[in-house]
Amino acid sequence: MLRPALATLLILPQLAHAMGKTQPPPVDSIAANVRIVVPTGHESCSVDAIPTAPSGLTEENGRLIPALRALARQADPMTDLVASAKQFALENEAFARAAADLAITGLTASQRFVLDHAQGSLTEESLVAQLVQDPELSWLSRDALLEASRRALDRAYAVARALPFGNSPERKHLGWIALSSEDDPPYRPVNISSSEYAQRDLTVQVGSHPVRTRYIVADGLADPEPAPVTPPRQLPAAHAPPRLDPNAKVVLFIHGMDSRVEEATGLIHAMHQIGRANGENWTVVAMDFPTAGYADRFDPSAISPISDLGRARRIVGFDARGTQRVPLLDFMEDFIVAFVDRLDREIPLKRQLVGVIGGSFGGNMTFRLGRRTDLPWLKNIVTWSPASIWTGLADGADIFKQLGVTAAWKRAGGDASLLEETEGRRAEFFDQAFNGAVNIGPVHVVPAQPEQWWSRSWPCFDRALVASRLERHESYARDFRLWHWRLGAEQLIYSHQSAPDHPTPRWRDNHVRMLLATGQEDDFNFTNIFSSTRKTAHQMRGTPGQALLFAGTGHSIHVERPALMARKIVEFLRGSKP
């Protein structure tokens, strides 16, 4: 039985057509194919456990203690390993393991580790040669120092073997692994979920900026390749070049803001299950975006100055100067196109690409791509819970709406005093990002942003909320902080509706066949994604496709209902109506 309020959302436009107030939309348009989806109960869900750091090694919000951060800043494996061996000798086991971890978890340290390994300098003897000069260890025998050095090296090599492979059987035995994203950001997931599919790096040229990104190609009919068996004191071989099954139907997944490749995992599994039942190879390609996941990080000012967006008014409000300038959004869209161009040189991506899909920020990107006329490889897009579906929050004279833009703009560097990474910035970021609800007295106006990502009725809501915070412990750094607020500000400023300098709605230019989806419970004040998406869908008379309104579902439809969403995506990409 449909909820009366939800049923009305569909019935009213139909009544308007029947009464002759509007002409019926074209039969293949989104406006003519808006459907309500009423799920039956909740799908099973799980959230991976994240190892806990030993007592005394981290401070608030996952930051390493100063002694370990000092090691991480040097990004020198030999220094880390000597420090580790010393602590093993002094029986400070937890610190010793953490110091050894830092020899390999950071990108710069890991690159130097590979060079030191190739040169044969990572040996017990090389560590002991430095340890014997330490007066604090003068009372220990050479054999004791050799044993401590062995343990330090064994730990570092074990981590080096496990990190590149999300399905490494060795990883579960290593427990918590130390990293310091602020000082030497990691190159692969360390303590959080890591894709079981081969993780490769690719350098993509976006304008004048080279971007090293991490990506996966998840074949729908082949099992993920197992982690190689690597002898002790050896480094694992690099993955073989990617390949595509000639019959693969390739889908490019665009993750959400601040997210990463692993966001696609549940949807990948669900699409693969559908494909294997029908002999179809639904292959999913996913990549980390700049300053997200394990891709290169950028100070947003390297892309454009914060003043390009506009400025905060002297007393209250935001002045976007009658425009919606969004250089970071433009950069991210260009990154997608450049990524496809670059990966197509490795595998026949463009020829076999059947659709580009994504939600939230990913929905914003796919929505924007659907207006481009220079991408012959773009045949279908699937967009859910799209950011910027709202009317631009900097437009008009509603000062209250502009407060969110102003706050994000200032935090992104509009307030120059916030550019510096002071001691309290990390705690400040997590407080603002995860506890930043908007309340007026006892009235709860807008919940904190992470609380808007899933329906509160979803069984995994509480665990996912905790995990999302812990995941960002692994990403946080100054550039990440500034990029987060800048990208947030731009998404609030931008709109797929009309704008002061674009009098007709932008969605009218969407010509690529589209599946547009939204969750009923994703309807928070000011952004109102559900209401805005539903209204837009009923107006999209010139865009071929369909729209789905999911009852009892929140923002992350693909996470809450991966099996159902996968089925709808596959049906759409096959050419049938979901």
Q: Which is it for strands 311-312 and 318-319: parallel, antiparallel or unpaired?
A: antiparallel
pLDDT of res. 13 = 54
Domain ranges of the chain: 60-170, 200-224+248-504+562-574
- When mean pLDDT is compared over 178-182, 228-232, 396-400, 525-529, the highest value belongs to 178-182
Please report which residue ranges of 193-343 form alpha helices under DSSP H.
265-278, 327-343
Indicate whether 576 pLDDT > 80: no
For the segment 69-83, the average pLDDT, to the nearest whole number, is: 98
Answer whether residue 515 shows pLDDT above 80: yes
Tokens read off for 37: 């989806």
Residue 18 is predicted with a pLDDT of 46
β-pair partners for 214: 201
Q: Tell me the per-residue pLDDT of 118-166, one tens digit each, with 9 for 90 and over.
A: 999 999 999 999 999 999 999 999 999 999 999 999 999 999 999 999 9
CA atoms within 13 A of residue 368's CA, in its CB half-sphere: 23
Specify whether the CB–CB gap between 295 and 288 falls below 8 A: yes
Whether 371 and 476 have beta carbons less than 8 Å apart is answered as no
Report which of residues 282 and 526 the model is more confident about.
282
Residue 442, pLDDT > 90, answer: no
| CB contact at 8 A, 78 and 444 | no
pLDDT digits 0-9 by tens, 6-40: 555 554 555 455 445 578 999 999 999 999 999 99
- One-letter amino acid at 253 equals F
Task: Work out the average pLDDT over 569-578.
Answer: 86
What pLDDT, on the 0 to 100 scale, is given for residue 20?
52
Query: For the chain, first and last CA: distance in Å?
Result: 19
Question: DSSP letter at 551?
Answer: T
pLDDT of 436 higher than 80: no
Question: What is the per-residue pLDDT across 315-371, written as a single tens digit (0 to 9) for each?
Answer: 899 999 999 999 999 999 999 999 999 999 999 999 999 999 999 999 999 999 999
pLDDT at residue number 3: 54
The whole-number average pLDDT for the span 51-63 is 96
Q: Please give the distance of CA 5 from its chain centroid, rounded to a whole number.
A: 33
pLDDT of residue 399: 86
> At a CB cut-off of 8 Å and minimum separation 6, what does 482 contact?
299, 300, 301, 411, 412, 413, 419
Q: Is 18 helix (H, G, I), strand (E, B) or coil?
A: helix
CB neighbours of 428 closer than 8 A, spacing ≥ 6?
Answer: none
* Residues contacting 130, CB < 8 A, separation 6+: 78, 82
Q: Of 118, 112, 137, give the one whose Cα is nearest residue 127.
A: 137
Q: What confidence score (pLDDT) does residue 15 get?
A: 47
The pLDDT assigned to 11 comes to: 46
Amino acid at 364: N
CB contact at 8 A, 265 and 255 = no
pLDDT, mean of residues 58-81: 97
Report the C-alpha gap between 377 and 350 in whole angstroms: 5
Q: What is the CATH number of domain 200-224+248-504+562-574?
A: 3.40.50.1820
Looking at residue 1, its pLDDT comes to 42
**CA–CA dist 149, 153 (Å, integer):** 6
Q: How confident is the model at residue 398 (pLDDT cuts 50, 70, 90)?
A: confident
Q: Is 260 exposed, middle or buried (0-12, 13-18, 19+ CB in 10 A)?
A: buried
Q: Quote the mean pLDDT of the chain.
A: 94
